[in-house]
Amino acid sequence: MSLQKSEALMIAAAVAIGLVGLMSPNWLVFTTTLAVAKALVVLGVVMLMRSGLVSFGQGLFFCIGGYAVGMGGRFWGIQDALLLILLGVLASTALAMILGLLLTRYREIFFAMLTMAFSMILFGVLVKSHNLGSTDGFSVVQWSLLGWVPESGMGVFWLALVLGLLVALFLNRFFQSSIGLACEAIRENEVRVEYMGISRRQVLYINYVLAAAIGAIGGSLTALAAGHVDPEMAYWTISGEFVFIALLGGTGHVAAAFIAAMLFALVRTYAVEFMPHTWQMILGIVLLLIILFLPKGIWSLFTRHRRAAP
Amino acid sequence: MTEILKTQGLSRYFGAVTAAEDINVTITQGEIVGVIGANGAGKTTFINMVTGYLPPSEGSIFFDGRPIKGLGPRKLMREGLARSFQIPQLFLELPVIDNLAIALSAAQNDHLQMLRPVRTTKRLAAADDILEQMGITQYRDEMVTAMPQGARKLLDIAIAMLGNPKMLLLDEPTSGVSMEEKHALMDTVMEIVKRRSLTVLFVEHDMEIVQKYVTRVMAFASGVVIKDGPVEEVLADEQVQTLVTGKRRHTSTATEQGDV
């Protein structure tokens, strides 16, 4: 398997971001870490969107990833970040394998509402769980990475960059693979897919479970970076935010999710700074402009340029 | 000759409406059978029942000696029963080459592969070969939406033939295609069909096409098969001329007008 041009560019971009991170203020390093973590969850949303499904409940897996990190450290004494992330991935995958059996039967608004419903059920359970801090959540205990205990936010920043890059490289191949294209085919015409001998439910199921696993990595990284988890991670507005970022970036390329997540984080940071009471309005206007002028997301700027080139 | 498709007492009801009733058909390997009938006669209902798109209300279906009633499209395709559609069922927003690449990966049972690209050199060469056979190479990298109806029909049929089927059911392969393109389209398809010795059953409204390409015809009217036999015999039948081709009605109307 040889390295593709876009993959080489993504590796170069990750290295460049890592180097810039060394010279950046803490707030920017933290913002970038959270943006990368969010981008992973957004990639799950993008995976589903490519198959014609919109999930308003990806916060479910984001939250499970986060709580797995919190609970793994607090109740089971696991300190290694990679083990904590693995715990989140396993928990999310297990749940997605059960929910996927039901959800892959549904399409359009029914799928969207059901995903949101499951996410809100988790939110409700966590709010009522006093052992887990109820609405306040709880703090994540000090973690380590293969025995090294990071003292600043740089540790999780590097971890997020490496994991983000690995997931991006995997998904770049996935989108070009037979199953990746089968997802797009399902979005286009389910009847033909079945008459080709492809099980649409099997394809959608695998896609859904993978999206959940990747979402959990995002949740785990967020918990490691923020040092805190709370039920808000499963709240529907957070899931809406992931859909917002997915629309912002578009489904044209894996990198779009990272660019959109960073843009979203910066727009929100500055909107809150300059318009603390009406910052949501700024986000709303940005989304409106994107839908009006770039209906296929920010990534279409690059593809449009490529198409225009002789 | 070996029986490939057999239906016994096949019926389909939609509430009080009878779409197809007591259809008993036996098709042998290598036959090219035309299905004719006016709109609403039950032709597509019959095709839909045989290809698992619509469950029959009554009756049984055997394909290659095995009962297939209740099997879905996916399993039937794996059994060797493929179909094309009246309205081509394609992936409109994907390039033509990707439509074929997905179909080829499915035919090779490779569609769950996660890391290997769907566009392998071998697969692209196979897709190019199919495009050439069908005479639609010029649309290779275009979106399906950019193709004219005739080319879409050919792509739809090409995809249906990719899984090396034993039998092909074509639902109105020339509908929506211009008069000039119809014969070229059918020539292309029939050449491949003969080369592969496929059994074909196709629904058609154009009697010229029926006479040219089939040896046997099944005439449908009001959900039942009113005549089944050699093409000349069926088309000459009085009931078929009245209910299906409309020849007799036109003749009698002309005679009446002449009398006046």
For B90, the closest of A174, A179, A192 (CB atoms) is A192
Helix (H) or strand (E) holding A61: helix A59-76
B136-185 pLDDT per residue, tens: 999 999 999 999 988 999 999 999 988 889 999 999 988 888 888 888 88
Chain A residues closer than 8 Å to B78 by CB:
197
Instruction: Indicate if the pLDDT at residue B4 is higher than 60.
Output: yes
B220-237 pLDDT per residue, tens: 888 888 888 898 888 888
Phi-psi region of A142 (alpha: psi -120 to 50; beta: other; left: phi over 0): beta
Write b or e for each residue in A202-234: b if 16 or more Cβ atoms lie within 10 A of its Cβ, otherwise e: ebbbbbbbbbbbbbbbbbbbbbbbbeebbbbbb
**Residue boundaries of the structural domains of chain A:** 5-234
Mean pLDDT of B22-50: 91
pLDDT for the residue numbered A97: 97
Q: Are B27 and B166 in contact (CB under 8 A)?
A: no
Give the span between the Cα atoms of B242 and B250, in whole angstroms. Answer: 9
pLDDT for the residue numbered B257: 45
In whole numbers, what is the pLDDT of chain A averaged over residues?
Answer: 92
A235-270 pLDDT per residue, tens: 999 999 999 999 999 988 999 999 999 999 998 888
B177-221 pLDDT per residue, tens: 888 888 888 999 899 888 888 999 999 888 888 888 998 999 988
Instruction: Indicate if the pLDDT at residue B79 is higher than 80.
Output: yes
Q: Do B94 and A194 touch (CB under 8 A)?
A: no
Q: Do A195 and B117 touch (CB under 8 A)?
A: no
Q: Do B118 and A181 touch (CB under 8 A)?
A: yes
**A-B Cβ pairs (cutoff 8 Å, strict):** 101
- According to DSSP, residue A253 is labeled -
pLDDT for the residue numbered A273: 86
Chain B residues closer than 8 Å to A184 by CB:
91, 94
Mean pLDDT of A98-116: 95
**Residue boundaries of the structural domains of chain B:** 3-88+165-259
- According to DSSP, residue A2 is labeled P
Instruction: Indicate if the pLDDT at residue A116 is higher than 50.
Output: yes
CATH number of B3-88+165-259: 3.40.50.300
Q: Which of A60-69, A203-212, B102-111, B166-175 has the lowest mean pLDDT?
A: B102-111
Choose the mutation target among A3, A166, A170, A192 for the interface with B, i.e. most B CBs under 10 Å.
Answer: A192
pLDDT for the residue numbered A291: 85
Instruction: Indicate if the pLDDT at residue B255 is higher than 70.
Output: no
